[in-house]
C-alpha cells in the first residue's frame, strides 16, 4: 500500500494533473499526510513498545498541529504581498486573430507607448501556448479584460 501511495505522489509531482498549481500542491500535501498515517500504522504491531509508539504519535500530532498556524501565516503573507504588488498585467486583449489580430497588436503598441499608461498589456499570442497556463494568466494575473468585438469573435477557427 505504501509503495502505491509513494508512486502516486511521484506521479503527482511529475505530471501535475490539476489545472491550478495550488490544487497540485494541496493534493501532494494530503497524499503525504496519508503516507505518514500508513507508515505510522506499521508501528502498531504487537511486538512494539506501546510507550514508544504513543510518544512518536504525540510528536507527529504536535508537528501537524504546529504546521497549521504556519500554513495560515503563509497564506496571509501571500495575500498581503499579492495586494501590495498587484497583478502583473493591467489589461488582456481578447480578439479573433484573423479579424482583429493586427488591430489588437496596434492597440497594444499605442497604449504601451503612452507615457500616462501604467501597467503591461497581454495578448494571448504573446503568452504561453499551453491553454491551462493561458486561462490562469487571464483569470488570476490580469486586472481588466478588453474584448475587441468582431463578427468572427465567437467562431472557432476552421
CB 87 within 8 A of CB 142: yes
CB 85 within 8 A of CB 138: no
CB 24 within 8 A of CB 18: yes
Q: pLDDT tens per residue, the chain (158 residues)? A: 778 888 888 888 888 888 788 888 899 999 999 988 888 887 777 776 888 878 988 998 898 899 899 989 998 998 888 777 778 888 899 888 888 889 999 999 998 888 888 888 888 777 777 777 888 888 888 889 899 988 888 886 65
Q: Which residue has the cell 510528536?
A: 59
Q: Which residue has the cell 465567437?
A: 154
pTM exceeds 0.95, yes or no: no
Query: Comparing C-alpha atoms, which of 122, 89, 88, 129 is closest to residue 105?
Result: 122
CB 87 within 8 A of CB 122: no
Query: Comparing C-alpha atoms, which of 105, 104, 95 is closest to residue 150?
Result: 95
Amino acid at each position: 500500500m505504501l509503495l502505491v501511495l509513494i508512486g502516486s505522489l511521484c506521479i503527482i509531482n511529475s505530471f501535475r494533473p490539476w489545472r491550478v498549481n495550488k490544487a497540485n500542491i494541496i493534493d501532494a500535501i494530503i497524499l503525504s499526510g496519508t503516507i505518514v498515517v500508513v507508515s505510522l500504522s506499521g508501528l502498531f504491531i504487537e511486538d512494539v513498545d506501546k510507550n514508544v509508539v504513543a510518544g512518536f504519535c504525540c510528536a507527529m500530532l504536535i508537528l501537524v498541529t504546529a504546521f497549521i498556524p504556519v500554513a495560515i501565516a503563509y497564506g496571509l503573507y501571500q495575500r498581503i504581498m499579492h495586494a501590495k504588488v498587484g497583478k502583473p498585467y493591467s489589461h488582456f486583449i481578447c480578439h479573433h486573430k484573423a479579424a482583429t489580430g493586427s488591430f489588437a497588436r496596434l492597440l497594444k503598441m499605442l497604449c504601451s507607448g503612452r507615457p500616462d499608461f501604467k501597467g503591461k498589456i497581454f495578448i494571448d499570442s504573446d503568452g504561453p501556448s499551453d491553454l491551462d497556463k493561458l486561462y490562469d494568466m487571464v483569470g488570476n494575473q490580469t486586472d481588466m479584460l478588453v474584448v475587441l468585438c468582431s463578427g468572427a469573435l465567437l467562431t472557432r477557427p476552421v
